[in-house]
């Protein structure tokens, strides 16, 4: 190994703050568990519900590339962040072939949504605001001069797909004044979400969030340097009373939060969904304190009984940015999401996308469009109904198994949407220890709840159970195993 520079010298303050997700600890441990282990830990959607089976791509020389059903199910599922393992291996060979790096072991690769996404992330990795950077002159306008980039046309997505998504928003949310909003397609809803956070927040500023909260958002907000204000939730999601209490007792009006972030349906991790009354209460509070609501709703179509009206549908003031995801409906791997935002905010978000990912994958957008055109709105609706029925059935199996095997050792609310059950283990303070030691030994995995709280210094008695990908037999056997773990632990 050559001498290495001190890399902390190159990190921006925000990049230095970034830490691995608490979930990574679990995934790394779980990856080493024997194949007979039953896992309720991963939050992946079930690939069997994605509508695509196989694909053939014909090349210009009339030969074909075939994606069979096994390739396809890999292509449609979420991947590890750096990229598909075999492709990465191939790209490593490419670097050796063309660059013969002196000591290639000191590097790693990561696939991005175009090199512009990587470039914008590299700028953020190394630069603080107002810091100097040396660039070619003249320089690529997309990266050197933000103000020039602002003049370019917005790139919110393929026009026909956007038209189709507008119809979807009207069909499912009937916004009171749809003219005041615009849509933009993103590489999954997480891309849109991170851009929305950056749009509205300054470093150290407060943001109101569900507690517990989606770990991906918490990790982003921590790295960003936001002041995370946790608002308690119950079986109906964010508590309006708790929220009002926090805001009415806020001591300094100059730092009063301006932004509220919530997952209204089948929340990750709690599985909780807001009732219509709760949403109205929260919306009224948002009006009272002039808050912007970020509605992160990837489990909207996984509501089991009826689709409860969204914040977007009740937005009289234009104070809602809504994020939709196709990850649970069409495929996680296609990385397709979209946001619906009041036009002045949408415009700024699109400017940001122009200088980061440029636009969401055209190929994914085109495949989605062709499918939507083939299905029409009624076909799309039928598909989402099938999906929600599947997850409801899975939920029923899991609830029955929990009642049978865990009984009064746990407390939980039965979800009405989504893929998760949130359990409190009665009489145990730290579920990390319980899962990483005892449950792992008994070959059953659940996700410790600590990853979903902003305060990482405490211990928590919760676990997240995912019922999305397991078979009925695995649900029965896995919960029987976990019951044994709990009995031994509680009665020792």
Binding site for ligand PLP (CB under 6 A): 43, 188-190, 193, 214, 216, 263, 268, 296, 298, 325, 327, 332, 337
- Min CB(112)–ligand PLP separation in Å: 15
Query: Using CB atoms, what's the residue nearest to ligand PLP?
Result: 188
- Min CB(262)–ligand PLP separation in Å: 10
Q: Which is nearer to ligand PLP, 247 or 292 (CB)?
A: 292
Q: Which is nearer to ligand PLP, 173 or 328 (CB)?
A: 328
- Min CB(303)–ligand PLP separation in Å: 14
Q: Which is nearer to ligand PLP, 189 or 356 (CB)?
A: 189
Q: Which is nearer to ligand PLP, 173 or 464 (CB)?
A: 464
Q: Which is nearer to ligand PLP, 191 or 476 (CB)?
A: 191
Q: Which is nearer to ligand PLP, 338 or 482 (CB)?
A: 338
- Sort strands 237-238 and 227-234 into parallel, antiparallel or unpaired: antiparallel
Q: Which is nearer to ligand PLP, 335 or 432 (CB)?
A: 335
Q: Which is nearer to ligand PLP, 83 or 216 (CB)?
A: 216
- Min CB(195)–ligand PLP separation in Å: 12
- Min CB(310)–ligand PLP separation in Å: 14
- Min CB(331)–ligand PLP separation in Å: 9
- Min CB(361)–ligand PLP separation in Å: 13
- Min CB(269)–ligand PLP separation in Å: 9
């Amino acid at each position: 190994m050559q001498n290495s520079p001190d890399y902390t010298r190159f990190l921006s303050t925000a990049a230095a703050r970034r830490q691995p997700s608490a979930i990574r600890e679990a995934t790394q441990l779980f990856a080493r568990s024997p194949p007979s282990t039953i896992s309720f830990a991963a939050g992946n959607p079930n690939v069997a519900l994605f509508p695509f089976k196989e694909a053939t791509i014909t090349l210009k020389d009339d030969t074909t590339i075939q994606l069979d059903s096994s390739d396809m199910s890999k292509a449609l599922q979420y991947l590890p962040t750096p990229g598909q393992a075999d492709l990465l291996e191939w790209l490593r060979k490419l670097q050796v072939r063309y660059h013969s790096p002196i000591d290639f072991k000191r590097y790693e690769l990561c696939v991005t949504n175009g090199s512009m996404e990587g470039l914008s992330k590299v700028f953020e990795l190394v630069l603080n605001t107002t810091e100097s950077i040396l660039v070619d002159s003249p320089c690529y306008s997309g990266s050197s001069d933000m103000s020039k980039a602002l003049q370019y046309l917005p790139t919110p997505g393929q026009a026909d797909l956007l038209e189709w998504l507008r119809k979807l928003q009207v069909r499912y949310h009937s916004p009171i004044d749809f003219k005041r909003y615009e849509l933009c397609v993103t590489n999954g809803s997480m891309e849109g979400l991170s851009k929305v956070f950056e749009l509205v927040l300054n470093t150290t500023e407060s943001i109101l969030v569900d507690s517990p909260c989606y770990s991906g958002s918490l990790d982003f907000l921590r790295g960003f340097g936001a002041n995370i204000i946790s608002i308690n939730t119950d079986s109906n999601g964010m508590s309006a009373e708790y929220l009002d209490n926090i805001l009415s007792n806020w001591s300094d009006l100059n730092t009063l939060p301006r932004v509220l972030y919530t997952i209204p349906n089948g929340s990750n991790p709690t599985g909780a969904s807001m009732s219509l009354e709760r949403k109205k209460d929260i919306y009224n509070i948002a009006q009272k304190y002039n808050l912007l609501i970020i509605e992160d709703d990837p489990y909207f179509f996984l509501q089991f009984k009826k689709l409860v009206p969204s914040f977007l549908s009740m937005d009289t003031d234009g104070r809602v940015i809504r994020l939709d995801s196709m990850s649970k409906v069409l495929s996680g791997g296609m990385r397709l999401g979209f946001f619906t935002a009041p036009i002045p905010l949408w415009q700024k978000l699109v400017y940001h996308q122009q200088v980061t990912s440029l636009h969401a994958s055209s190929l994914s957008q085109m495949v989605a469009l062709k499918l939507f055109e083939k299905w029409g709105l009624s076909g799309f609706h039928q598909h989402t109904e099938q999906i929600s029925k599947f997850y409801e059935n899975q939920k029923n199996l899991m609830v029955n198994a929990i009642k049978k095997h865990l009984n009064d050792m746990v407390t939980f609310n039965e979800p009405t949407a989504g893929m998760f059950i949130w359990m409190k283990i009665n009489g145990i303070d730290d579920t990390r220890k319980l899962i990483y030691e005892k449950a792992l030994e008994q070959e059953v995995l659940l996700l410790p709840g600590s990853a979903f709280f902003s305060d990482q210094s405490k211990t928590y008695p919760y676990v997240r159970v995912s019922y999305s990908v397991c078979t009925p037999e695995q649900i029965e056997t896995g919960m029987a195993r976990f019951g044994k773990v709990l009995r031994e632990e509680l009665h020792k």
